[in-house]
Amino acid sequence: MAWRMSFDYDEVHDVVTATFEDCVLNNALDVARWRTEVEGHLSRYPSKVDLLINLDGLVVKYTAGRVFGRERTEVLARYTQRSFRYGGDEMTKMFVSTSGVINGAAVNVYNSRDEALKALLADRAGGNSSPSGKKAV
């Protein structure tokens, strides 16, 4: 399998879904590649998006965790209005949670896309610019 990511727009729900395939982050160079590619995809949208992130296929190793947390916070703050996650292995979810606490960001991890979408739509309907009034990352 080869490293691949896609960002697909769901017009019905006005949300972008990020999907990863074999994106294994072992070190800072892998994280830099991840950031560059994610920014390349998200910068194509005319404004900040609501983003669903499928964590399946994105693997954050211990050796990349701290750098990943910082970089994800910055890139998602720049390009997203709110973001919700689903799936993923335990290590990756741990780094998402840990970096959320360290950076004061919402974590929003759900078991399925349907659950994450439902939570995002409820948050949007509640008038929040981002989950819990915090910058979504």
> What is the biggest distance separating any 2 CA atoms in the chain, rounded to whole angstroms?
41
Residue that the structure tokens 């950076």 belong to: 103
Q: What torsion, rounded to 10 degrees, do the Cα atoms 100, 39, 13, 106 define?
A: 10
Q: Which residues contact residue 9 at a Cβ distance below 8 angstroms, ignoring those fewer than 6 apart?
A: 15, 16, 45
pTM of the model: 0.85
The per-residue pLDDT for range 48-103, each reduced to its tens digit, is 999 999 999 999 998 998 898 889 889 989 999 999 999 988 878 777 777 666 66
